[in-house]
Amino acid sequence: MSKNKKIYIYTVIVLSMIFWGMSFIWSTIVFRYLEPITTVFFRLILSSAILFGGLKLFNKLEKVKKEHYKLFFLSALFNPFLYFIGENFGLKYSSATISAVIIATIPVFSPIAAFFFLKERLSMLNVAGLFLSFVGVLAMLVNKDLSLNAAPVGMICLGFAVIAAIVYSLLLKRLAFHYSAFTVIAVQNLIGAILFLPVFLIFDFSKLSGIVYNYSWVSALIMLSVFASSLAFVFFAIGTREIGVSKTSIFTNLIPVITATGSFFLLNEAFSFQKIIGIMIVIGGLFISQLNNNKPPANAEEVFEG
């Protein structure tokens, strides 16, 4: 991989983490006015319209092959549908920073899944960096008396989201070798919106009449749709295709760093010395995990068809 391409790949991955880190803050703002299901449904509808509109405008819309219908449905079932159910209800019962911290455990488990299903390998430096980053995440999650700063129901929902995200990352890599990242995410978000439609109609539709419209939550919802549900997933898909599931997922350790910083300025959440130490450890582990990273990931076609 050339130096310029490597810079491009890592730049888009980091941007996706910034957008996802901010998504916890934007969601917290929207949840003051809308229910989680309503938020996700509107978010996916807007995202699908933006992505399909852009693809049509630039004549880049690809036709989905019949043999990939099942794969697209399964990937959309796990993310956005199942993942967003876990993440949004978890966020409702936890703070933005704590939610981001739990979601950041994804790279701890992703390499295990990638080892068994994608035959990806990690060097000792990758493993050491991953472990160090996880220690930093724990430093931000655990209080001085070793108690957890989150409600059990919130942690369970977020844990469910982590499992859904891991399964999704494995499915995503297969699709990323057949279609552009924009096409993959556009189709997945549209399917996700269709899956959320009956849930929205049953539980939240009757509550729409009581919504108070203002700039705060409307702008936050637009940010979620454009950056978190569209560009972030596109950039993550590019990273997954180029450097593999395990190494791309390691960057999710940046999410709680972004969320903690943003929450301090926008939500007035406490930014303690313990959080600062945790952030430094996370960044250090991320740096170590990417050293000696010259070996390309296994080709998805060889893994699944060979």
What mean pLDDT comes out for the span 57-61?
92
pLDDT greater than 70 at residue 301: no
Which band of pLDDT confidence, cut at 50, 70 and 90, is reported for residue 274? confident
Going from the C-alpha of 133 to that of each of 101, 116, 125, 126, 295, the distances in angstroms are 11, 22, 12, 11, 22
End-to-end Cα spacing for the chain: 24
What mean pLDDT comes out for the span 223-239?
92
DSSP tag of 142: B
What mean pLDDT comes out for the span 105-127?
75
Please tell me whether the overall predicted TM-score, pTM, comes out greater than 0.95 for this model.
no
What pLDDT is recorded for position 253?
79
Pick from 13-17, 205-209, 283-287, 288-292: least confident: 288-292
Pick from 91-100, 234-243, 289-298: least confident: 289-298
pLDDT digits (tens, 9 = 90+) for 150-199: 788 998 999 999 999 989 988 887 887 899 989 999 999 999 999 999 99
